Amino acid sequence: MNRFEISDAEKVDWTGTINNVNRFSTIPNVVSGLRVKSNTCNEEISTVDLSRFDFVKKVEVGSNSLQHCIGFFLHNMPSLLTIEIGDHSFQSSIVFDVDVRDNSSNL
């Protein structure tokens, strides 16, 4: 186990890495980034909703990932600044719904 203390004056960026669809529900909602690895999460999944991640600044989806996902939702994510999607991801018909409020002009 690694343990460290963080004071209010320190800034820590923490990216959750996702390599299967079950991992979405196990990542703490305080992460500052989300990364779906390339060639992963291609199981049958109807929707992915990342709206619970209030502090995420960057969402990355690697190439050839989430190919069978039908809906991808990012709502009320005031810290979100960047969305990167790799080649050949989201191959199925998809609803890509982004409404981040405060930073929507930056996307």
- pLDDT tens column, 27-59: 998 899 999 999 999 988 889 999 999 999 999
Cα 55 to Cα 1, 31, 39, 97: the distances in Å are: 24, 6, 26, 18
Q: Is the model's pLDDT at 103 over the cut of 60?
A: no
pTM of the model: 0.81
